[in-house]
Amino acid sequence: MKYDRVYNFSAGPSMLPLSVLEKASAEMMNYNGSGMSITEMSHRSKTYDAVICNAVDAVRRVMNVPENYSILFLQGGASGQFAGVPMNLMTGSNSADFVVTGQFSGKAAEEAKKYGTANIAATSKPANFTYIPAQEDLVLSPDADYVHICYNNTIYGSKWNYIPETGNVPLVADMSSCIMSEPVDVSRFGLIYAGAQKNLAPAGVTVVIVRNDLMGKAMPITPAVLDYSIQAKNNSMYNTPPCFPIYMIGLVLEYIEAEGGLEAMKERNEAKAKLLYDFIDASEMFSNPVRPDCRSVMNATFVTGNAELDDRFCKEAAAAGLVSVKGHRSVGGMRASIYNAMPREGVEALVSFMEKFEKNNK
Ligand SMILES: *Cc1c(COP(=O)(O)O)cnc(C)c1O
C-alpha cells in the first residue's frame, strides 16, 4: 500500500482517511498562508477562529443538527463526559436511568453515582452483553433527569438497532464508536457525545451535541471546562481547545461530504460489515457471539474458541499487514474495527486471510 501503510483494525485511536492525512501533512508547515502550522497558532487568532467555526458548521451540516442544539468541542474524552453529563443534567430529581450494555455504559453509570442516583434501567450483563434490551424491557423512571445509553458497544461489538422511546425524559447517548457512521435523527436525543479518536479525528477532542434547553442547570461544583453553558457561550474556547484535533474534524467531515455524506457512509459500512459477518457465519472455525440483529457495524468481534489459536491468528494477521485485530484485553478473542476510514479492500483482505487461516489449521 502507499507509504507502506497497513490495514489497521484498531478500536481507537484508529485509521483516518489517507486523503485527510495527506492534506494535514501538506498544510503542516504553513497553514493557509499564515506562515505557521495549526499546532503553533493562537486559538484567539482570526485564522483559527475560522477553523473552529468551520468544524462546528460541518458537524451541523453533516449530522443535520437542528438549530436548537449546540455543538461543543471539549476535552477529557468520553470518560470525561461520564462525569460531565451528570454534573450538567442530573439536577432535577438528581437521578438518571442507565441501560448497561457493555463496559463503557457500566462505567458511565458508576461515574454518575458520584453525583446522584444511577438507576439501572436494564442490563444484558447476565448474557455477557450479547444483545441490546428491547424497549419493553427498559424499566424507566418517569422523574429521571435523563436516560443514558451507549449506542454502539465498542468492546462487545453490539449496537442499538432502535432509538428508545423515553417520553419527556431526555435521551443521552455515548456515540464514541459510531458517530458519523450513519445518519441519526438528532432530534430524538437530548444530548449526544463522542470521543473523536474512533471515527472522527485524532484523540484529544470530545464532541458534545446538546439541546439548548438542557444547558444552564449545572451543579455548582461543575468545573468550568465541563460546564456546557459556559463552553457554549465561549464557542468551546473558555480555555485553550484541542486545536489540532478540531482542525482534523473539519478535514474528516470535508472528506465525508465529498464521499456522499452519512447515507453513503452507512451503505459502505453495512456492506463491509456484511462481508465479514457472512464469512464468520459460514465458517466452521470462527464465530461471533452477538445476537445477529444487534451486531455492530463498526466493531466486529469473533473467536475460534481456542485462546492459543486466537493468539496465533492475531500474530499471523499482523505479519500479513492486518494489524490490531486482537480483542479488548478484558474479553480476549478478536475484534476488527472497521470504521469509515477502513476501505472495503481492508475487509476483503481480512476475510481472505481468515479463509486461508481456517484451511491451514483444520
Ligand atoms: C473509547 C470509548 C470510550 C472511552 O473514551 P475515552 O476517550 O478514552 O474516554 C467511551 N465510550 C465508548 C463507546 C468508547 O468507544
pLDDT 10s digits, 266-280:
999 999 999 999 999
Report the pLDDT value the prediction gives residue 330, as an integer from 0 to 100. Answer: 87
Report the pLDDT value the prediction gives residue 145, as an integer from 0 to 100. Answer: 98
Any residues with CB less than 8 A from the CB of 177 and at least 6 apart, and which? 11, 12, 152, 153, 154, 198, 199, 296, 298, 299, 337, 339
Q: Phi and psi (nearest 5°) for 357?
A: -60, -40
Among 98, 154, 335, which is best to mutate for testing ligand 1, by the most ligand atoms less than 8 A from CB?
154
Please identify, by atom number, the ligand 1 atom nearest to the C-alpha of residue 153.
Answer: 13
b/e per residue 145-159 (b: at least 16 CB within 10 A): bbbbbbbbbbbbbbb
| Centroid of ligand 1 to alpha carbon of 158 (angstroms) | 15
84 lines ligand 1 (CB under 6 A): no
Ligand 1 atom 2, closest CA: 176
The model's pTM is: 0.98
d(CA 147, CA 194): 16
| Centroid of ligand 1 to alpha carbon of 295 (angstroms) | 18
Residues of the chain with pLDDT under 70: none
Grid coordinates given for 5: 501503510
d(CA 8, CA 109): 31
Among 73, 100, 101, 177, which is best to mutate for testing ligand 1, by the most ligand atoms less than 8 A from CB?
177
Report the pLDDT value the prediction gives residue 1, as an integer from 0 to 100. Answer: 82
Report the pLDDT value the prediction gives residue 264, as an integer from 0 to 100. Answer: 98
Q: Yes or no: say if 256 and 340 are a contact pair by the CB < 8 Å rule.
A: yes
> Going by DSSP bridges, is the β-strand pair 322-323/117-123 parallel, antiparallel, or unpaired?
unpaired
CA 253 to chain centroid: 15
Please identify, by atom number, the ligand 1 atom nearest to the C-alpha of residue 152.
Answer: 13
| Centroid of ligand 1 to alpha carbon of 362 (angstroms) | 37
DSSP three-state, residue 279: helix
